[in-house]
Structure 1
Amino acid sequence: MTNDIAIQARRREIAAEHVLFKLIEYVEMRQPGLLDHIEGSLSHLGDPARDDTKDDEAVREIARRMITGARREIAS
């Protein structure tokens, strides 16, 4: 059975990613350098989990893919 709390969390995550992605695109097009700055900060990004699911590199890889997607969108 699907948990309503998990569904709401997923929907919030999707909405937050969309808004953040569009904000990054907007700023980067008007003030280049934001994506480079974010990319340079990835070594500080980590997974806050305290169990076996903790995977800092997986979190960083998601961020890298988001940056790549933003760069591609801006270039088109």
Structure 2
Amino acid sequence: MTDTNALPQARQREIATEHLLFKLMEYVEDRHPGLLDFMERSLDHLGDPATDGTKDDQAVRQVASRMIAGARKQGVS
């Protein structure tokens, strides 16, 4: 992998992973209600592993919270 390909490929992996995770969350919540509540309650334990000035635990929690809200809104179609 060359440096010019690294960022687009990382972005593509992130998009694909996020899509699959959303679909998994929706699927499991549909069959086992309570998953999203369980995940939401776990957010206090979520943090940013960075060790420099970019560390932002709250931003990571906000991203996760928005993902859970999106899965709730979308649901299984």
Fold conserved (TM > 0.5)? yes
More relative contact order in 1 or in 2 (CA 8 Å, sep 6+)? 2
Match in the other structure for 1:73: 74
Q: Unmatched 5+ residue regions in structure 1?
A: none
Kindly, what percent of the aligned residue pairs are identical?
64
Distance 1:75 1:11 in 2: 24
| Cα offsets for 1:24-74 (capped at 9, x unmatched) | 000000110000010000011111111111000000000010111111112
Map 1:14-29 onto structure 2 (within 5 A). 14-29=15-30
Q: Unmatched 5+ residue regions in structure 2?
A: none
* RMSD of aligned residue pairs (Cα, Å): 1.6
Match in the other structure for 1:50: 51
* TM-score normalised by the chain length of structure 1: 0.91
Report runs of 4+ in structure 1 exceeding 3 Å deviation: none
* TM-score normalised by the chain length of structure 2: 0.90
Match in the other structure for 2:11: 10
Distance 1:62 1:49 in 2: 16
Distance 1:50 1:3 in 2: 26
Distance 1:4 1:75 in 2: 34
